[in-house]
Structure 1
Amino acid sequence: MEVFINIQRFSALTNLSSHTIRYYEKIGVLKHIARNSSGHRFFTTKDIEWIQFVKRLKEMGMPLDNIKLYADLREQGESTAEQRKRLLQEHVVILEQRIALEALHLKKIKEKILYYENIIDVPKI
């Protein structure tokens, strides 16, 4: 049996503001959200799983337009699996480039720290 939760609980469980949740629904990242007779939104565990994936994509730097495209493709079903895979593969390339750049930055700052440690540790005569 599917459990339905209100927007406040969904917000707490996903660590997203109610405003962000409503915005994601408005732009189509969240789709087919159940509503009661008063119009209040109710979310399912599948909605939680989906929004956790969306958050991960956002945290990895995927543009919201690409996440929206992914959501649209997802809604169309398995026939779009190749397109969704390609979208994720393209983002992996971007992530790998960013990780390589960050690794270079980390290496350079560690070299600078070592430089200062050598200066500081040199005995003064």
Structure 2
Amino acid sequence: MTITEVSQKFEISQDILRYYERIGLIPPVNRNKSGIRDYTEQDCNWVEFIKCMRSAGVSIEALIEYVELFLQGDKTIEARKEIFIEQRNQFMKRIEDMKKLLERLEPDFGKFI
């Protein structure tokens, strides 16, 4: 797939895709003879994964670390697991904070208008 097709499929700008690749957020994408990025299914899986994790609030730094560890192979499974446990804990904290905010807004919403 071309960068245009991937951009449209995942609703991410081409600039963001290039940026993600440049900083190591997704592994380097192969290029065809003309030097144009040629995304494979595996590349698209990375894009989808990163988009999902970013939507959940996972930091770029944590994801870069995860990708670097992933590329080192199975010897890093425990370290990768620790990253996700920490990110999950942070996500759960954000959910709890949002629930508290929602509770504060619901009962007496009218008095703030």
1:70 equivalent in alignment to 2:66: yes
1:26 equivalent in alignment to 2:22: yes
Unaligned residue ranges in structure 1 (runs of 5+): 118-125
How many pairs were matched up? 111
Alignment match, 1:120: none
Deviation per residue, 1:1-25 (Å, 9 max, x gap) = xxxx111001111111110011111
Out of 8, 12, 15, the residue aligned to residue 12 of structure 1 is 8
Unaligned residue ranges in structure 2 (runs of 5+): none
- Provide runs of 4+ in structure 1 moved above 3 Å: none
Percent sequence identity over aligned pairs = 29
How far apart are the structure 1 equivalents of 2:28 and 2:15? 17
Alignment match, 1:49: 45
Higher strand share: 1
CA-CA distance at 1:32 after TM superposition: 3.0
Please tell me the residue identity of whatever aligns with 2:13.
S
How far apart are the structure 1 equivalents of 2:98 and 2:87? 16
1:58 equivalent in alignment to 2:45: no
How far apart are the structure 2 equivalents of 1:12 and 1:100? 34
Structure 2 residue matching 1:35: 3-state secondary structure = coil
Structure 1 segment 89-100 matched on structure 2, within 5 A: 89-100=85-96
